[in-house]
Structure 1
Amino acid sequence: MKEVERDFLTEEELLKIYNKKISSERLQLVRDIFIFSCYTGLAYVDVKGLKKDHIGIGIDGEKWIFKNRQKTETKSKIPILPIAEEIIEKYSNHPKCLNENSILPILTNQKMNAYLKEIGDLCDIPKEITFHMARHTFATSVTLTNGVPIETVSKMLGHKNLHTTQHYAKVLDRKVSEDMKVLKDKFSIYNNSSNKKSS
């Protein structure tokens, strides 16, 4: 099987979208829901089905999302990061959320993707941004790049096995460089101390 190259946003691109001043309410909404997905790793169908009772208190006393993934029926347990919580708060009194007991007033996947293309243009990001890219961004730029172990990422994504997560997990050159720097520093400490002993 040929491995599909999965595109994702870098941390810089993600922050560019998050911080962009957008005057259109429609694009603001799409941006917020996309960012929410980037910081929770939830797929479109799972964000759409997210209800207030999917949010509970986790093992650490903080707010978590507890939800079965629609695609695989596996349980996702995701601690809510501050940016995701900020977006939940922003839409807590939105008429659609109040009427449907939902967390976010999400549009159709087709509309979301069409508007994300506009947002990409507004932010000068030369990638074709789709809603599914948010899940890859969560796996790559939000978690793995910041040192979250792949087993933890796999559990939050609701994957049945680690092999599935590895498709998402682009090991970034920056991460490789940082990990190897730790090793280099360790070796230079050993070298310095053994040089002192021999002199």
Structure 2
Amino acid sequence: MEKQPLNENVSEADLILGFESLEQLNNKLNQTAIDIFTNETQRKLLSKPSHFTFSIVHRAIELNRGFKTLAESNNWITAINLMRLQADNCIRLFALSLVKDRLDFYNRIQNGEHIRNIKDAENNKMTDLYLSQKLDSLYPGFRLLYENTSGFIHFSNEHMTANTDKFEDGNDFVMHIRLSETTEFSINKKVDYAFNMFVLNKELHKLLNGYKLSMIDFMKKYD
């Protein structure tokens, strides 16, 4: 799949709206985690898989705050790396929903085992490739977004493009070595990055809601 062309009809107002939407999702992530916590502690319980989930939520919120702070300081080269880490949060939380025994999964992760070495209920090793492809069937487009953001966190042509200005003829270009200047991105790229970060968080929140509903049902036996 190829990247979709950027929307040229955007402005700084759209970027601000993107940041506001991201902050709203931060609040939703936090509230959903509180709901899960309350549902369990009211029964004087706190499950270990929920500890795993809360840790992902905490990381997600901090990544969102970092993304906004870096973007507002015009350090987009660093900010866009956080998109890949947010995609990682999605596949880690998704992995929890695929295993037969969540407590065993938690204990193995807590003991330092890599998720890629753990098998799901269908006896498949949960590698990043497997998880991202399986999650794409649930949220179409996730795999492409995962691949594109991987190009940010690993040095790639994305960084070379950001450091290059091409002339109109398309043949000649100027390469920069910036020691004090920041890399300037077009407003349509900035809005696109903010929107994709929002999409990743929206999908993470859906996964978190799925966990919340499963735990509400599970906790009924303690009533």
Please indicate, yes or no, whether the TM-score normalized by the shorter chain is above 0.5: no
Give the TM-score normalised by structure 1: 0.24
Query: TM-score, normalising length from structure 2?
Result: 0.22
Between Structure 1 and Structure 2, the one with more helix by share is 2
As a proportion of its length, which structure holds more strand?
1
